[in-house]
């Protein structure tokens, strides 16, 4: 079995992987089994001219190698090109993207630095697995340095339609770089189809049985929907401490039905639209006053990017307006928590809430949707209301699928969820749970790596 080299923007501390969720665990497991390296940014920013060699930490067969970014790299690569250009565009939000020439240069520079730092660590037989939109050019940087390894790339966020991507600076270069890989994986068939269409329109010659030929190379492409560690999450939701937290939740309010939303405070998550849909529910169904609450947990994220400040202000104003209009001395309809919550508490809250409201405007996958289902009690499960624009909707057909832009439709789905009979809740939950268990994080990781191993070495070189 080849050694594995995982490269991602941030490196999770393998000893704390279980706190970061399924993805970190899946990658830490793959590394532990094969032995290998996890390489990436350590999350620190240093001033220009400070030379910090990569830090190495080995535990068992796994070595993490991390390096800091300079302030300029942080601003141009991380805040700039990755999070102010690629993130909005790949989430179909051209209106929020902020192009600057310096960003493109910073992005290329950091990818080139990563390749320089990684190159001396590679052994001839290594499998290299690159993750996400921060590192689209990394494979081509490694090829430029003469590395003929098998390289896989997985995109965690959506891949936009061709016409949207064509508005991104250097879009041809970005896609061309992916053709330095042997395998390129996406979350959904929609993302895969968008990629294939872009390639065929701009460059492509042939597409056949998962192989795509363009830019004088043939690569394997596929969709590999990410999963969670369903068993571990269910166990987290069913501890004596979780029972006590759920009882507390129920005792502290007169409401009988709790709706929960949990998302980073990101504009892709559709939070203002979600609060408006909840307000519409209260407008349309006065019988739910005092019997329903929405708890929205939205920890801060990327606060150095301007677009994120606006959304925070909008949410705070909406929360105040809804509670002011509908709240009473004995009932607060909406609770908005702008903090990170320990994972065990989150699991307990999912189990204790009768509706999971997951309505991103666009999302690569959305693990919260899967976690909500995994946490439910089989005897009395809650109902998942899910955006049809989350990657998870391709698999989770038994959720109540909604258009998150359509406030009335989401309000109606909430009404259906709140009043759904037990038998239907159980049928839907069982079907969802079965798929989430089967297609878990391990299944994702093993599928991707076995597809990568089957690519013929050097075929794409």
Q: At a CB cut-off of 8 Å and minimum separation 6, what does 436 contact? A: 227, 228, 230, 370, 373, 374, 396
| Rounded CA separation 451/184 (Å) | 10
CA-based nearest residue to 390, from 401, 377, 379, 406: 401
List Cβ neighbours of 278 (8 Å cut-off, separation of 6 or more): 259, 294, 322, 333, 334, 357, 411, 414
**363 catalytic per annotation:** yes
Q: Spell out, one character per residue from 13 to 42, where the chain touches ligand ADP: x when CB under 6 A holds, - when not.
A: --------x---------------------
Our finding on whether 368 is near ligand ADP (CB under 6 A) is yes
Q: Which of 122, 193, 341, 416 binds ligand ADP (CB under 6 A)?
A: 341
In 35-185, which ranges are continuous DSSP H helix? 71-73, 87-90, 101-118, 138-144, 162-165, 171-178
Q: Tell the residue number behind the tokens 């832009």, with chain if given.
A: 405
What track of x and - describes contact with ligand ADP for positions 119 through 158 (by CB under 6 A)? ----------------------------------------
∠ at Cα 137 (135, 141), nearest 5°? 115
* Candidates 277-285, 363-371, 377-385, 394-402; binding stretch for ligand ADP (CB under 6 A): 363-371
| Candidate segments 78-86, 136-144, 367-375, 434-442, binder of ligand ADP by CB under 6 A | 367-375
Should residue 262 be labelled a site residue for ligand ADP when binding is judged by CB under 6 A?
yes
Compare residues 262 and 322 and give the one whose CB is closer to ligand ADP.
262
- Tell me if 371 contacts ligand ADP by CB under 6 A: yes
Contact range with ligand ADP by CB under 6 A, out of 145-153, 247-255, 285-293, 338-346: 338-346
Q: Distance between CA atoms of 186 and 333, rounded to whole angstroms?
A: 38
Q: Which entry of 42, 57, 98, 156 is annotated as an active-site residue?
A: 156
Q: Is 171 in the site for ligand ADP (CB under 6 A)?
A: no
8 part of the interface to ligand ADP, by CB under 6 A: no
> In the bound complex, what is the minimum distance in angstroms from residue 410's beta carbon to ligand ADP?
18
- How deeply is 329 buried, as exposed, middle or buried, from its count of CB atoms within 10 A (0-12, 13-18, 19+)? exposed
Work out whether 264 is an interface residue with ligand ADP (CB under 6 A): yes
Chain residues 275-334 in contact with ligand ADP, contact rule CB under 6 A: 297, 299
d(CA 147, CA 274): 47
Site for ligand ADP contains 348 (CB under 6 A): no
CB of 424 to ligand ADP, least distance (A): 25
Q: Closer to ligand ADP at the Cβ: 371 or 412?
A: 371
State which residue, 128 or 297, has the beta carbon closest to ligand ADP: 297
Residue 452 makes CB contacts below 8 A (sequence gap 6+) with: 127, 129, 150, 152, 182, 183
Q: Is residue 391 close enough to count as binding ligand ADP by CB under 6 A?
A: no
Asked about 408 being catalytic, the answer comes back as no
Check 191, 363, 439, 440 and give the catalytic one: 363
Q: Which residues pair with 355 in a beta bridge?
A: 259, 383
Q: What is the distance between the alpha carbons of residues 170 and 152, in angstroms, rounded to a whole number?
A: 22
| Beta carbons of 140 and 180 less than 8 angstroms apart | yes
* Positions marked catalytic: 156, 363
Please give the residue ranges that form the binding site for ligand ADP (CB under 6 A). Answer: 21, 262, 264, 297, 299, 340-341, 346, 365-368, 371
């Amino acid at each position: 079995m080849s050694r594995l080299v995982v490269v991602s923007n941030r490196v999770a501390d393998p000893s704390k992987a279980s706190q970061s969720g399924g993805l970190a665990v899946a990658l830490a497991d793959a590394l532990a089994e094969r032995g290998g390296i996890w390489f990436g940014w350590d999350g620190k920013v240093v001033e220009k001219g400070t030379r910090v060699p990569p830090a190495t930490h080995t535990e068992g067969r796994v070595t993490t190698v991390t390096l800091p970014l300079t302030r300029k790299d942080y601003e141009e690569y991380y805040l700039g090109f990755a999070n102010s250009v690629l993130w909005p565009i790949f989430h179909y939000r051209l209106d929020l993207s902020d192009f600057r020439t310096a960003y493109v240069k910073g992005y290329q520079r950091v990818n080139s630095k990563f390749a320089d730092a990684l190159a001396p660590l590679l052994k001839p037989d290594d499998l290299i697995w690159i993750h996400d939109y921060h590192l689209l050019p990394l494979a081509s940087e490694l090829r430029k340095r003469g590395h003929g390894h098998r390289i896989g790339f997985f995109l965690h966020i959506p891949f936009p339609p061709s016409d949207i991507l064509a508005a991104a600076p250097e879009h041809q270069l970005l896609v061309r770089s992916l053709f330095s890989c042997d395998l390129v994986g996406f979350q959904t068939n929609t993302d895969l189809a968008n990629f294939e269409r872009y390639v065929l329109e701009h460059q492509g010659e042939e597409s056949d049985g998962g192989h795509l030929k363009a830019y004088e190379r043939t690569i394997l492409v596929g969709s590999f929907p990410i999963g969670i560690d369903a068993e571990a999450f269910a166990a987290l939701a069913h501890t004596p401490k979780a029972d006590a937290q759920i009882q507390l939740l129920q005792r502290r309010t007169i409401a009988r039905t709790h709706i929960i939303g949990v998302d980073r405070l990101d504009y892709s998550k559709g939070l203002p639209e979600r609060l408006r849909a909840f307000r519409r529910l209260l407008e349309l169904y006065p019988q739910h006053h005092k019997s329903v609450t929405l708890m929205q947990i939205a920890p801060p994220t990327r606060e150095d990017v301007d677009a994120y400040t606006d959304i925070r202000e909008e949410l705070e104003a909406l929360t105040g307006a809804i509670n002011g209009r509908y709240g009473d001395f004995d009932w607060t309809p909406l609770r908005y928590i702008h903090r990170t919550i320990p994972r065990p508490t989150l699991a307990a809250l999912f189990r204790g809430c009768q509706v999971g409201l997951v309505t991103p405007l666009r999302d690569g996958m959305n693990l919260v949707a899967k976690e909500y289902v995994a946490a439910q009690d089989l005897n009395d499960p809650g109902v998942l209301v899910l955006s049809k624009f989350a990657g998870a909707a391709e698999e989770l057909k038994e959720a109540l699928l909604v258009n998150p832009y359509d406030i009335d439709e989401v309000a109606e789905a909430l009404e259906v969820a709140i009043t759904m009979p037990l038998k239907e809740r159980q049928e839907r939950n069982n079907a969802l749970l079965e798929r989430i268990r089967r297609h878990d994080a391990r299944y994702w990781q093993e599928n991707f790596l076995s597809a990568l191993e089957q690519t013929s070495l050097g075929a794409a070189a």
